[in-house]
Amino acid sequence: APGVWGVRPCPPPSPSAAVSQVTVRDALNQALDEELERDERVFLLGEEVAQYDGAYKISRGLWKKYGDKRVIDTPISEMGFTGIAVGAAMAGLRPVCEFMTFNFSMQAIDQVINSAAKTCYMSAGSIGVPIVFRGPNGASAGVAAQHSQCFAAWYGHCPGLKVVSPWSAEDAKGLLKASIRDDNPVVMLENELLYGVPFEMSEEAQSKEFVIPIGKAKIERQGTHVTLVSHSRSVGHCLEAAAVLAKEGVECEVINMRTIRPMDIETVEASVVKTNHLVTVEGGWPQFGVGAEICARIMEGPAFNYLDAPAVRVTGADVPMPYAKILEDNCIPQVKDIVFAVKKALNI
């Protein structure tokens, strides 16, 4: 619903296109099902992924379909089961390792960075680690500081990893399938508040061979006055803000990054050359954030000469997430914050 999850209504499909409403949860479930069926080396492990159908029901029905060897419930030990998954990837399997929240991936950070991310380089390419680390990332609702951190900047900082951050159902399915098929470790940062949100998916996106290339951003809305760059749930907020600003004669171009590492800065540069203004939006903390990296890359590249005003960042507040709802709301970028930042950038 617009204004609740940061999602705008999708435009009506053309009469020739077969379009269905699919939630992000179901899109992820489809992707896992199709890849488990396609490649017997793929398996899923994590807490409650099997008999309980997943803490968020992402793996619903997969244990009954594929059995104990392909969908594995683990003890509550992130360091343990992540290490098992990394070792399995080194041995030639293709694990999908689910964290109940990426905040808990801190328990396994040594396995993700030192074991998975660095091994291909340190072995001169002789040992691959084709693994996907996935689960909800960033703020949910009313779960306080230890469940609400965005790790896009953390994992995006580390060479050896690919990092994807989907917004829509199409993003979720296409990026998860691409991640499972990739020969490198991939961190897939989903958002819990998007799991139940329906998006329109084309017939093409629902095919078993649909993948979205890792490292390619998508322009969600064309515009001429300012470039809004975002990822994950904040993309919806940007689209809502763009709709508000359009009523005032300001046309925003909204870019959904989709991938944090490698970053598609070329798409952002081309947009900034056209609009001459840049606003980045993210739910994470400001210091050393995704927006900071985008702004730095624009400053260092050819698009800098086209900026008519300094770039503006919209971020989460620089504090651990509070539990109280009114404080939480003020820690997460809202549509009004994006509108304010655009007007600041345009000096209106």
**Secondary element (H or E) of residue 23:** strand 19-23
What is the amino acid identity at position 159? P
Whether the Cβ atoms of residue 182 and residue 161 lie closer than 8 Å to each other? no
Query: What are the backbone angles phi and psi of residue 72, rounded to the nearest 5°?
Result: -120, 120
Domain 21-206 fold is Rossmann fold (3.40.50)
Indicate whether 190 pLDDT > 50: yes
Indicate whether 96 pLDDT > 80: yes
Q: How much is the pLDDT for 167?
A: 97
Of 34, 78, 269, 293, which is the active-site residue?
A: 78
Q: Where in the chain is the domain with CATH 3.40.50.970?
A: 21-206
Q: How much is the pLDDT for 14?
A: 47
Indicate whether 48 pLDDT > 70: yes
Per-residue model confidence as pLDDT tens digits over 276-295 = 999 999 999 999 999 999 99
Sort 41 into a burial class: Cβ within 10 Å, 0-12 / 13-18 / 19+.
middle
| pLDDT bucket at 50, cuts 50 / 70 / 90 | very high
Pairing type for strands 162-164 and 259-261 reads antiparallel
What is the amino acid identity at position 185? P
Per-residue model confidence as pLDDT tens digits over 229-273 = 999 999 999 999 999 999 999 999 999 999 999 999 999 999 999
Indicate whether 324 pLDDT > 90: yes
Q: If we measure between CA atoms, which residue out of 293, 253, 58, 40 comes closest to residue 166?
A: 58
Q: Which residues of 101-119 are buried (b: 16+ CB within 10 A; e: fewer)?
A: bbbbbbebbebbbebbbbb
What is the amino acid identity at position 129? V
Strand partners, 45: 72, 97
Q: How far apart are CA 236 and CA 33, in angstroms?
A: 27
Q: Which residue has the higher pLDDT, 256 or 13?
A: 256
CATH number of 218-346: 3.40.50.920
| Active-site residue, 78 included | yes
Per-residue model confidence as pLDDT tens digits over 336-346 = 999 999 999 99
Tokens of 121: 């380089």
Whether the Cβ atoms of residue 341 and residue 314 lie closer than 8 Å to each other? yes
Give me the chain's average pLDDT, please.
94
Of 35, 47, 98, 147, which is the active-site residue?
A: 147
| pLDDT bucket at 19, cuts 50 / 70 / 90 | confident
Tokens of 7: 């999602």
Q: If we measure between CA atoms, which residue out of 180, 196, 199 comes closest to residue 239?
A: 199
Q: How much is the pLDDT for 86?
A: 98
Sort 65 into a burial class: Cβ within 10 Å, 0-12 / 13-18 / 19+.
exposed
Q: How far apart are CA 173 and CA 204, in angstroms?
A: 12
Q: How much is the pLDDT for 250?
A: 97
Whether the Cβ atoms of residue 226 and residue 56 lie closer than 8 Å to each other? no
Report CA-CA distances (Å) from 166 to 188, 189, 332. 8, 7, 18
Whether the Cβ atoms of residue 271 and residue 221 lie closer than 8 Å to each other? no
Per-residue model confidence as pLDDT tens digits over 114-161 = 999 999 999 999 999 999 999 999 998 888 888 999 999 999 999 999
Q: How much is the pLDDT for 119?
A: 97
Q: Where in the chain is the domain with CATH 3.40.50.920?
A: 218-346
Q: How much is the pLDDT for 17?
A: 54
**Secondary element (H or E) of residue 190:** strand 186-190
Indicate whether 225 pLDDT > 60: yes
| Active-site residue, 266 included | no
Indicate whether 1 pLDDT > 60: no
